[in-house]
Each structure stands twice: as C-alpha cells, then as structure tokens.
Structure 1
Amino acid sequence: MQGSLLAVLVLSVLLAALARRFNASAPLALVVAGLAVSTIPVFEDIELDPELVLYVLLPPLLWSAGLESSYLNLKRNIRPISLLAVGLPLVTTFAVGFVAFHTVPELTVAAALTLGAIVAPPDAVSATAVGRRLGLPRRVMTLLGGESLLNDATALTAYKVALAAAIGSAATWGKGLGTFALAAGGGVVIGVALGAVIALIRYRLRDPLVESALGLVAPFVIYLTAEEAHGSGVLAVVVAALMLGQLSPHAGYETRLQDQAVWKAVQLLLESFAFLMIGLQLPTVIGELAGISASVIFASSAAVLATVIVVRIVWVYTFAYLPRMLSPRIREREPAPTVAQVFVVAWAGMRGVVSLAAAFAVPMTTLSGAPLPGRPHIVFLTFVVVIGTLLLHGLTLPWLIRRLGVQGDDARTDAIAAAAAQEKAATAAADRLDELLADPETAEVHERAADVLRAWNTRRRNSAWERLGRTEEEIGESPTAAFRRLRLEMLAAERKAFIAERDSGNIDDEVLRSVLHGLDLEEATLNRT
C-alpha cells in the first residue's frame, strides 16, 4: 500500500508538471488521468483515507491559502464572502437533502442531509487557478478565495451535526445549533490564540530555518488542537494563517523568501496528489453500487448534480443584486458587479477532495449496529457531484471567461499603484540616506558610495514608472562595507513605506508581496557571504 501511494505521489507531480508545461488545468488533467489509470491493477486497491485528507492534506492547503490571502481584502468583502461561505453551504445542504430524500428511497432525512453537507463546499483551487491564469478581476478572485477558505468549516460542521443524527446519536435542533456555534467560536478563538503564540515565537527566533520548520508543523498542531477542543479546525487554521500572512512583511527577509519557496512546493505536491486520488476512487465507488437499480442511480445522480449547480447559480445571482436593491449604503460602498462577473462566480462551483473524504468517513453502521441507511448512495452521489462539477465547470470555465470578457485591468492598476508607492519609498530612502550622512559618525563616508546609492535610488524610482518594477542590473561588484550598511538602512525605510501604503489601503497585499520580494532579494544579495 505504501509503495502504491508513493507511486501516486510521483505520478501526480509528473502530471502536474506536464499540465503546467502546456498551460493546462492541472486539477482537471489529474482527475481525468486518475480515472484513466484507476483500472490498472497496481492502482485498483488505493482507497482514499478520510483521515489522510482531513488531518494531513487539508491543514497545510488551508494554511498556504491563508498566507497568500489578504486580510484587508477579505475584510472589505466580508458580506458577500459570508453569504458564499456560510449561507450558500447551508442552503445547499438542505436543498440537496430534500432532493436526495425524495429520489433515493433508502435515505433517511438525516442521511440525506449528511449527503447535502458533504457536497455543499466547493473547492476553489481549480477555479482560482484558472482565474489567475486568465486575469479575472481581483474582487472576483477575492470572493472565490475567501469562499474556499471558510466554506469547509461551515459544511464540515453541518456534516457532523447531520451525521450524528444519522447514526442514532441524540440530536435536536437546539443541540445542532449549539454544536455549530461552539465549532465556529472555538475555531476562531483557538486560531487567534495559537496564531499569536506562533507569531511571537517565530519573530523572536531570528533563525529562518527554524522559523520555516515551525511554519510547516503549525497547521497540523492548530487543526488538531481545535478539533480536540470541539472547535472548527478549518477556521482555526485559516484565522492563524491570515494573522501570520498579515504580519509576514515585518518578518526577516530570509524567512519570507524561504517560506514562499517551501509553501509553493508543498501546495503543488498536495494539490496534485489530492486531485489524482479523486480519479483513482472509481473502482471503490463502483463496488459500492451492488444491488442498486440503474433507474435510481440515474435519477438521483441527475437530480442531485442539477440541484448543486442550480442552487449556487440562484443564490449567487440573488445576493449579488438583492442587497444592492434594498440598501443604498451597499450601492454607495460596493461597485456594481456585471452580469458576466456574477455568472463566473456562480459557475465556479467545482467540488473536491474534502467532499470525497467526508463521504468515505461516513460509518458503515449506526450506533445500534445496523447498517447505515443509504451509505452506498451517499458515496456514489458524492463521487458523481465531484467528478461532474470538475469536468463540467473545469472544461467550460476558461472558455466562458474569455467569451464573456470577464478580465480585469488589475495588472495595469497594480503597476500604477506600485510605481506611486515606489516613488514614496524612494523618497523615504533618500531622506534616510541624508539623515545618515548628516550624522557626525558617518560624515567621513566615501562620497562615491553616497553618489552610487543616490543614483541607484533614482534608477529604482524611474524604472518603477518605465517597467513598473525593479530591473535586474547589478550595480557594481564588491561594494564597500559603508555602501552595504547604508543601503540596508535605505531598504528598511523603503520596506516601512511600502507597508504603510498597504495599511492605508493605497496598494493591495499582492502588490506589497511583489515589491517586498524584490527588496528581500536585494537584501539577500547584500548579505551574501
């Protein structure tokens, strides 16, 4: 079994590399490849372990997404994100539960609601990958990213409540709401507490290698702690990651550079493995169908898949325009979305590995020892929804984005904002240099070093408007110690100015990360041995 999983891991990375090489959708390619190779004998017995997904794959993927997300953007869009990440999964749970209960005779109400909670949360990994490649407007990307960060917490909590009722545990509406509130509140509190502790430890270590190692284990510790305390591990990890991401500009440059490289590799590895595993579950799912009539399979599959798609479209369109019609304040504060933008958000509802893991985690029996009603249907219908949405949306979403022209001018806007911020940063660096040269202790610094630094600063200021970024030209070789010390002081002033621009809302977190990356690389060059 271990050898087979290793083979899956290696194959997933190779396939992801090919997809990236040919600019194809890696999640879609991996799922199709998994379906194709699932009949090969060496891969037939590979089953998706729910604990592997929920405790090994999910925490680091959430952590990586949280680190890359913008707390300020999420805060500015908290209303629509909440509707997508909290309201939509709950509505989907009840809608799918109602349809499944009436199309699958074996399902009880609780079992049908369990299925609804399982297929409720979209996995926006593939949607955001497509959107980033095709240049979706930043607000659309923020909505999809924010939804994917938080909707798992809503759906998995609803899943726990419905599953408890399905297996025969005493459950009431009041107890269910209490469980939901405890999970949400506990997850947020634990995330804030552990995030603060980790930030305090990391930024006092001043050891980039240890800081990155601590960052690698942090999501697992946070997730497990929250789950053991009956809180939402998903929310805890997301909250802590957002905190660390917001504070990362204040960390050392070596830690930032190292974290970026490490987490991009980890994200590619885990996402590739997860999507290939989805396709490989075909033999297991087929094995669950013994004794189920073809008519029930076809009718329930079509009904549940259609419900998942239609509910999202209706919900997204309704709450994209209804609040604006009812509230003048919303009309003033939020730009009006176009019909095309709303449709792209509504169509980006691909389900993923979390849904399959939750389905496989449904126990075979109730607490009384009797077989759980409709479990084979739950597993099969989940597989249908996951594969159906991945193929349907994944194949059509890029075409729709191009066809509808849903592409923003964020690159141009970001470039102008970055250049304006560079202007202020260059001024701050020049002022700092003048302060240092006015100091009696640095008055004897070689004038050539100061001239080179001023010229370098001017070039950075001008190139920001020409290229809107830093060139890779080397400014001389083997700079003197004075040159190095003064330039580091100027970099610190630039970094402080950029952070202030981000905090005041003049530039986006994505712009900040981009310009800080340039400063970090420059600082690394100055500090090389």
Structure 2
Amino acid sequence: MELILVVVGAIAVTAVAHRRGLEPALIIVMIGGAVSFLPDFEAPELDSHILLTVVLPPLLYSAALNFSFPTFLRNIRPILGLGVGLVVVTAFTVAAVASWLVVVPLTFGTALVLGAIVAPPDAVTAVAVGRKLGLPKKVMAILTGESLINDAAALTLFSIAVAQVAGTHTFIENPFLLFTYSAVLGPVVGAVLGLVTLWIRKRLANPGLETVQGLVVPFAAFITAEELHASGVLAVVVAGFVVGNGTLSAGYQTRLQERYVWNSVDVLLEAFVFAYIGLHLRFVLEDLRDAHESLTEVAIAALIVLVLVMLIRPLSVLLMFGRNKLSSHVERKLSVPAPAVGRGARGMRRADKPPGKWRSRIDRRSLSWQENVVVSWTGMRGVVTLAAAAAIPVTTASGEPFPERATIQAIAFVVSVGTLLIQGWTLPPLISRLRLSRFSDDHAADRGEELKAERAVHDAAEEVLAQFRANPPAGMDPQVLADIGNTIARHSQDADQMPDPEAHTKRAEVFSALYREVLSAQRAALIAERDEGRIEDEAVRGMLERLDLQEAGVSARLESRL
C-alpha cells in the first residue's frame, strides 16, 4: 500500500511540475525529503538488488528502442570517450580525493564505491532540455549514446568495488579480467535475446501480446546477463537496439502501442525512484548522526565531491574535444604537400586507400566550442546514482555493517541534488546565451531534415505507383485505377491526411493493398537513407510515426466498412 501511495504522489507532483515548467526530479526529491520528517513517518523499504533490477532495465531499454544504432556508430568515438573513459576517470579521481580527505574515514575501497556511484551522469534531464530548446542533432546523439553505456561502466566498477569491500566472492578474481568478461558477454546475451524476441513476435502476430512480451525483454536480458556474471546494462541496451531495429518489420499497431507504453513506463519509474530516495532522507541523516559526532564533516566532504564532479567533466571534455581541434589546426598550419608520384611515398599509398565500410560511417566532424561547453555542463546525476546508492548492501560477507554506508549515501544524495539544482537549472539559459538552439533560425535545420524525409517518402511512393500503373489488376475500370493511383499519390505526400475508401468493394480492397505497399516502401526508403547517414534519425522517426498514424487511420476506416 505504501508503494502505491508513493507512486500516486510522485505522479501528481510530476504533473504539477510540468504544468509549472519546473524540473520534476528535483521537486519530487525535495517534497519527499520534507515528507520524511513528518512525525511517525516510516519510509517504504525495498531490497537493494530489487531496486536496481526493477528500475534500471526498463529505463535503458526504452532509450535504446528509440535510438538508432547507425547513429550510435557514427558517434561512437565521443560516446565511448564520455560513456566509458570519463566514467572511469571520474570514479578513480573521486576515490583518490575522498580517501585522502581526513574529514571522513573512507578507505580507497569504500571511496571507489562512492566514485562509481557518482560517476555516471543522467542524460535524461539533459536530453529532455536539449530536445525542448533545440540542441544540434549531433550533440543530442552524443548525450543519448553516452547515457546508454555510462551506466554499464559505472555499475561494473560499483559491483567490483562492493565485492572487494564486502569480501564477497566474485566470478573472476582479477578485476580487469572481470570487467572485460562482463563487457564482452553482456552484449552477446542482449543480442541473442533480442533476436529471440523478434523470432517470437513474427509468430505471435498480435499487437497486445507483442507489447506485453516487450515489457519482459529488459528484465530477461538484465537477469540472464547478471546470472552469467556479465553486464546486465549492456545486455539490455543491445537487446533494445536489436528489437528497436526489428520492430520496423512489425505491424503499425505494435509500434504505436509500444511508443506510448514505454513513455508511460519512463515517467512512472523516474518519478518513483526520486520519490523513494527523497522519502529516505531523514533516515540517512539519522544513520549519519549515529556514525559521526558531527554532520559538518560529512557536509564538507559532500561539497568537495560535488565541486570535484562538476569540474572533472568540463576539463575532460576540453581535453577530449579541444585536443582534436587544436591538433587539426596545427596540422593545417604545419602540413606540407605530399609527393604526387613515387612508389616510396608510404603516406601517399595510405591516403589513397579508401576507408573501410564501418570507418567511413563514423562522423568525424568536430564540435564547435559552444557545443563543447554545453556537453561539458550536462553532468546532472540522477536515477542511477540514487538507485546505486540505495543498492549498497547493509552488511558485509562477515555480517558486519557495510563501512560508511550512510556517509556514501549522503554524499551521493548531495551530489545528485546539487548537480540537478546547479546544472539542471542553468543549462537552459546557457543554451540560449550561446545561441545554440536550432529554433533560433525559425526551424530551418529541422525543416531541412523533414524535407529530406518527405522527399524519400515521395520517391518511394512514386516507384511503387509506377509499377502499379505498369501492371494494373485485371478486371477493373481504367478510370477507377487512375483515381486510386492519383488519390494515393496525393496522400502519400502528406501523412496528416487519410484517404477514405467509399465502401468495402473491389476498389477498396485494391486501394488498401496498394496503399500498404506504398507505406512499406516508404518505411524501407527512410530506414535506408537513415542508415547511410543522409537523413537525421529524429526526422526519420518523426516521419515513421506519421506513417504509422496514417496506416492506423486507413485501417480504421476500412474496418468500419466491414
């Protein structure tokens, strides 16, 4: 009953926050913290492992479903740099500084637990703000891709550090080998489960059952991988990529249902996690009071870690992206022309060699300094940080209390709320001040991508209609066939309008069959253009949704005639 009340209250607060234009996560945490101080209040309790297993997989799976794998590959270099490299650097830097501080008695092991918890930024807030304010598509792709893999790196470090501190047995004693094993086997598990899911869906052919099966996939991937001591996070992400790519061959009803179902699941889980953590604020402070004579020491340590976390990301982004711009500038200034001929010119042979298939798809464009600034300021911590802090075991393998558990949780709470408050509320004015919004040019960039998508849809429809005119069905009036072709040609260019068959006749049947063939060709053309990098993923997904809604309207009208 308590959990139901938490969910209902969190949803209500989220609705009010959205209506007021406030950040729901921060408001929920603050209200939850205030409620925790009510007399005789008892916070709901969940097992630490259940919290991570229930909350994290569906959030990651939903993000992967809505993110193009080709887009992920095109931006793989900055995504890996931020999602893996920066997480490792942050975790170990925080661990080194926190273990060196004399204000709180953290060993390097317990400090590494803290570092792994506060290392991964939660890009949900940044992506939501960026989408609302019109951040460039490349920046959006980098932030979204980073959010899919930084949790895997952080939680793998977290599990290794917790095992070392708690004295529990690990599958592989060597932490580096364990990290590699987890990172390799996790994606394999996710890919296998994703393919199995698509195989089952083809045989279900029922939108309701397919949607229900989709709700099971992230939990199955996460639990299976964790049972094999692999990365459950990577398994969920890869399963989402595989299923999301294969869903394009499913029916429009399945796609529409899943789109709205997963949006609802995201809102529900994020609201619940922030409310759950906020409701435990008083009890964390009570545990701290029992463990320390003064809360001032913990507050000082938390502020130091907060400042450190907020500094590491800008410095790392400057080194990663600024170094590339500096090296390219120096190369342009100091480069000399290569010899035009000569078998001995190794550099010439290497330059003439065409790039490989996958390497040619990598987007090597550098970010502008304004984009670098925005990326460096999107370090808000959120769901994963708070859920991992709550997932610290209460006792070690010997039955002793986990050392400094309350201290780590309090610092993680301050870091999460502090970054949401400082960076989350200053990010929108920063984007506006840097004039980075695509909306400042009257949606010109968005409209350009939409025109590309509309052109691909139009060309695909014209190809199908040309084949229809060349090979018309037998036994029908040529004028009726011409009317059908003209109607579909007109409406295939505008997915907001829907053709209205006059009756359930031969004409309606031909119309329906041809129209669905046109839609299928249009979807295939859009995906091909996206995978080749000629149209941005967001424009393609927008057009695909319009086509799904259009097909839903056509089908509803046809069924009403039966």
- Shorter-chain TM-score above 0.5: yes
Which runs of 5 or more residues in structure 1 are unaligned?
Answer: 464-469
- 8 Å Cα contact 1:95-1:116 kept in structure 2: yes
Q: Which amino acid aligns with 2:267?
A: L
Q: Equivalent residue for 1:513?
A: 541
Q: Which amino acid aligns with 1:183?
A: S
- How far does residue 319 in structure 1 lie from its aligned partner after superposition? 0.6
User: How does the TM-score come out when normalised to structure 1?
Assistant: 0.91
- How far does residue 363 in structure 1 lie from its aligned partner after superposition? 2.9
Which runs of 5 or more residues in structure 2 are unaligned?
Answer: 332-350, 352-358
- 8 Å Cα contact 2:182-2:230 kept in structure 1: yes
Q: Which residue of the other structure, out of 35, 43, 50, is the alignment partner of 1:37?
A: 35
Q: Equivalent residue for 1:312?
A: 313
Q: Deviations over 1:69-121 (max 9, x none)?
A: 12111111111111111111111111111111122442111111111111111
Aligned length: 519
Q: Equivalent residue for 2:107?
A: 108
Q: Which amino acid aligns with 1:417?
A: E
Q: Equivalent residue for 1:221?
A: 220
Instruction: Pick which of 27-36 and 195-204 moved more.
Output: 27-36
Q: Which residue of the other structure, out of 51, 73, 80, is the alignment partner of 1:53?
A: 51
Q: Equivalent residue for 1:504?
A: 532
Q: Which amino acid aligns with 1:523?
A: E
Q: Deviations over 1:407-428 (max 9, x none)?
A: 1369533432332342343233
Q: How does 1:402-413 map to 2 (within 5 A)?
A: 402-408=432-438, 411-413=443-445
Q: Does 1:527 align with 2:555?
A: yes
Q: Deviations over 1:221-265 (max 9, x none)?
A: 110000000001000000110111122222221111111121111
State the alpha-carbon separation in 2 of the partners of residues 218 and 42 from structure 1.
40
State the alpha-carbon separation in 1 of the partners of residues 453 and 149 from structure 2.
32
- 8 Å Cα contact 1:4-1:42 kept in structure 2: no
The structure-2 alpha-carbon separation of the partners of 1:204 and 1:326, relative to structure 1 and needing over 3 Å to count, comes to farther
- How far does residue 143 in structure 1 lie from its aligned partner after superposition? 1.4
- How far does residue 44 in structure 1 lie from its aligned partner after superposition? 4.1
Q: Equivalent residue for 2:13?
A: 15
- How far does residue 42 in structure 1 lie from its aligned partner after superposition? 7.3
Q: Which residue of the other structure, out of 483, 486, 496, is the alignment partner of 1:451?
A: 483
SS of structure 2 residue aligned to 1:428: helix
Q: Equivalent residue for 1:302?
A: 303
Q: Equivalent residue for 2:390?
A: 360
Q: Equivalent residue for 2:279?
A: 280
State the alpha-carbon separation in 2 of the partners of residues 496 and 202 from structure 1.
19
- 8 Å Cα contact 1:108-1:166 kept in structure 2: no
Q: Equivalent residue for 1:159?
A: 158
State the alpha-carbon separation in 2 of the partners of residues 254 and 236 from structure 1.
26
- 8 Å Cα contact 2:461-2:519 kept in structure 1: yes
Instruction: Pick which of 485-494 and 120-129 moved more.
Output: 485-494
Q: Which amino acid aligns with 2:226?
A: E
- 8 Å Cα contact 1:96-1:304 kept in structure 2: yes
User: How does the TM-score come out when normalised to structure 2?
Assistant: 0.86
Q: How does 1:72-83 map to 2 (within 5 A)?
A: 72-83=70-81
Instruction: Pick which of 122-131 and 56-65 moved more.
Output: 122-131
- 8 Å Cα contact 1:428-1:494 kept in structure 2: yes
State the alpha-carbon separation in 2 of the partners of residues 28 and 449 from structure 1.
59
SS of structure 1 residue aligned to 2:174: helix
Q: Does 1:420 align with 2:452?
A: yes
- How far does residue 174 in structure 1 lie from its aligned partner after superposition? 7.2
Instruction: Pick which of 343-352 and 429-438 moved more.
Output: 429-438
SS of structure 2 residue aligned to 1:334: coil
Q: Equivalent residue for 2:336?
A: none
Identity of aligned residues (%): 42
The structure-2 alpha-carbon separation of the partners of 1:358 and 1:511, relative to structure 1 and needing over 3 Å to count, comes to same
State the alpha-carbon separation in 2 of the partners of residues 360 and 378 from structure 1.
10
- How far does residue 486 in structure 1 lie from its aligned partner after superposition? 2.4
State the alpha-carbon separation in 2 of the partners of residues 90 and 136 from structure 1.
27
SS of structure 2 residue aligned to 1:527: helix
The structure-2 alpha-carbon separation of the partners of 1:275 and 1:365, relative to structure 1 and needing over 3 Å to count, comes to closer
- How far does residue 214 in structure 1 lie from its aligned partner after superposition? 0.7
- How far does residue 218 in structure 1 lie from its aligned partner after superposition? 0.7
Q: Equivalent residue for 1:95?
A: 93
Instruction: Pick which of 103-112 and 216-225 moved more.
Output: 103-112
SS of structure 1 residue aligned to 2:83: helix
Instruction: Pick which of 422-431 and 275-284 moved more.
Output: 422-431
Q: Which amino acid aligns with 1:312?
A: R
Q: Deviations over 1:440-476 (max 9, x none)?
A: 6436245235325314423543x5xxxxxx3346556
SS of structure 2 residue aligned to 1:289: helix
SS of structure 2 residue aligned to 1:519: helix
- How far does residue 357 in structure 1 lie from its aligned partner after superposition? 2.6
Q: Which amino acid aligns with 2:448?
A: I
State the alpha-carbon separation in 1 of the partners of residues 300 and 23 from structure 2.
30
Instruction: Pick which of 392-401 and 91-100 moved more.
Output: 392-401
The structure-2 alpha-carbon separation of the partners of 1:453 and 1:41, relative to structure 1 and needing over 3 Å to count, comes to farther
- How far does residue 151 in structure 1 lie from its aligned partner after superposition? 0.7
State the alpha-carbon separation in 1 of the partners of residues 169 and 50 from structure 2.
28
